[in-house]
Amino acid sequence: MSKAWQTPRVDSASSTLDVGIGAGGLATADMVLNIGPQHPATHGVLRLRLVVDGEKIVSAEPVVGYMHRGAEKLFEVRDYRQIIVLANRHDWLSAFANELGVVLATEQLLGMEVPERAVWIRTLLAELNRVLSHLMFLGSYPLELGALTPVFYAFREREELQSVLEELSGGRLHYMFNRVGGLKQDVPAGWTLRTLDAIKAVRRRMPDLENLLTDNEIVKARTVDVGVLSRDLAAAYGVSGPIARASGLDVDLRRDEPYLAYGELFAPGGPGRVPVRKHGDCYDRLVVLIEQVRVSLDLAEACVEKLRSLPAGPVNVRLPKVLKVPEGHVYRWTENPLGLNGYYLVSRGDKVPWRLKLRSASFNNVQVLTRMLPGQLMSDMVSIMGSMFFVVGDVDK
C-alpha cells in the first residue's frame, strides 16, 4: 500500500531515478556541495564533499581530520596511567570501553593477572557504557530525522545509568576508572543494589522509547530500504559493530574472541546473544541498536548478580612506583559500542609506549559513506549519515 507522503524508494544499485530535479532527461550540471565541517545537518565536524546532480548524489567523500588531536603521538609521551586519560576521550560516548583496550593490552604485555572481582566490575561497566552510547544514538538519530521527542526518553534513561556510574567513578563521561591491573578503587557500599535498580528501571521504560521509534510510520518511511549497506561491502570496508550486524555480518568480539568475563556470559545458556539483521538499511541499524540495549541490560544484570555472589577480594593489584612494560608488541581489540576498537601497543621496555596505534570503529564506518551515498537523494543523506552512528572524535582521533 503506497501512501502519498511516502517517497518512492530507489535501489541504491540502480542509477536511474525517476524522482527529483535532475531526473527525466533535464540537462543539469553537477554541483559540488560541502556539508560541514560546520553545518546543522552534520553532527560534529565531519565534512562531506558531495557532488550532486539536482537532488541526486553523484559522489560523496568524507573529509576527515578537522578534529585531529594527535592522540597516537600523545600516547607516546604519556605513562600508562596518563594514557587512560587520553584514550577515553577519542570516542567520548564509550569512554570505559576505550580505557579497557589500553589496560587489556598493557596487562597482556606484562603478563598480569587481574583479580576476579575487577574482571566482573569491568564487564559490568563496559555493558553499562554500551547502553549509554546506544541510548545516545537512539536519541540523536530520530533528532536528525526530525523527531524531537525520543531524545528526552533516551536521556532520561541515560541519566539513570550515568548517576550510578558517577557514584562509582566520579565522572559522568570520562570515567577514568580503569587502571593497569584492575580498577581505581572498590565500589561503594550498596552500589550494586542501586545499579540493579537502575538497570531494572531502564529495562522497564525501554518500551516507551521503542514505541516512539520502531513502529512509527514516519521513521519507517525515512529509514526502511534507505541506505542499504550490503554484507560484502561492509566486510570490504572493515565496517563493524551494530552497523555491520545490521547488514548480516555476524561479528561480535564478545562472543567470537571473548575477553573479560564474556566467555562465561556468552556461553550456551548465558544471557549473551548477538542481534543480527540482514537488510542493512537505516531501519535495521536502528533496530539492532535497540536490540543491543536489551542484550546489554541483560548482561549487566548478570554481572551484578555474579558480583554479589563473588567472595571478598581486591579489585586491583599493587603496581611498582614506575611501571615499565617489557619489550614486545601486542594487538588487543575489544567490541566497543560502535564497533571494533583495537590498540597496537609496541613497548621498548620504557615507562611510555614506543607506539600505540589506535584502530577506531568510527573511522572505518564513515569511510563506507563514499559507496553508500552515490545514487541516493539529498533528502536521504542525513538519514543515512545519522544511521552510521559515528563519533567524530573517534574518526579523527
Residue closer to other proteins by CB (options 52, 138) is: 138
How many positions of this chain bind other proteins (CB under 8 A)? 61
Return the ∠ at Cα 180 (arms to 85 and 296), rounded to 5°.
75
What binding mask, one character per residue, do residues 185-204 give for other proteins by CB under 8 A, x or -?
-xxxxxxx------------
Applying CB under 8 A, does 357 fall inside the site for other proteins?
no
Q: How far apart are CA 278 and CA 287, in angstroms?
A: 11
Q: How far apart are CA 379 and CA 222, in angstroms?
A: 9
The closest alpha carbon to 374, from 65, 30, 143, belongs to 30
Exposed / middle / buried, residue 231 (Cβ in 10 Å: 0-12, 13-18, 19+): middle
Query: Hey, CA dihedral for 282, 286, 287, 288, is it positive or negative?
Result: positive
Applying CB under 8 A, does 248 fall inside the site for other proteins?
yes
Applying CB under 8 A, does 291 fall inside the site for other proteins?
yes
Applying CB under 8 A, does 303 fall inside the site for other proteins?
no
Return the ∠ at Cα 179 (arms to 327 and 242), rounded to 5°.
95
Among 33, 51, 59, 156, the residue binding other proteins under the rule CB under 8 A is 156
Among 238, 314, 328, 374, the residue binding other proteins under the rule CB under 8 A is 314
Applying CB under 8 A, does 176 fall inside the site for other proteins?
yes
Beta bridge partners of 329: 346
Residue 217 CB, nearest approach to other proteins (Å)? 5
Applying CB under 8 A, does 251 fall inside the site for other proteins?
yes
Residue 177 exposure: Cα atoms within 13 Å on the Cβ side: 28
Is there a cis peptide before residue 37, judged by omega within 30 degrees of 0?
yes
Count of CB atoms within 10 A of residue 126's CB?
28
Among 9, 49, 203, 273, the residue binding other proteins under the rule CB under 8 A is 273
Residue closer to other proteins by CB (options 11, 208) is: 208
Of the candidate spans 34-42, 127-135, 160-168, 348-356, the one that interacts with other proteins by CB under 8 A turns out to be 160-168
Residue 311 CB, nearest approach to other proteins (Å)? 7
Among 9, 49, 184, 203, the residue binding other proteins under the rule CB under 8 A is 184
Sheet with strand 47-53: strands edge to edge: 31-35, 47-53, 56-63
Q: How far apart are CA 242 and CA 290, in angstroms?
A: 10
**Binding to other proteins, residues 65-104 (CB under 8 A):** 78, 81-82, 84-86, 89
In three-state secondary structure terms, 170 is coil
Among 169, 240, 360, 364, the residue binding other proteins under the rule CB under 8 A is 169
* Residues near other proteins (CB under 8 A): 1, 3, 78, 81-82, 84-86, 89, 117, 149, 153, 156, 159, 163, 166-171, 174, 176, 184, 186-192, 208, 211-212, 214-218, 220, 224, 248-251, 273-279, 283, 291, 307, 310-315
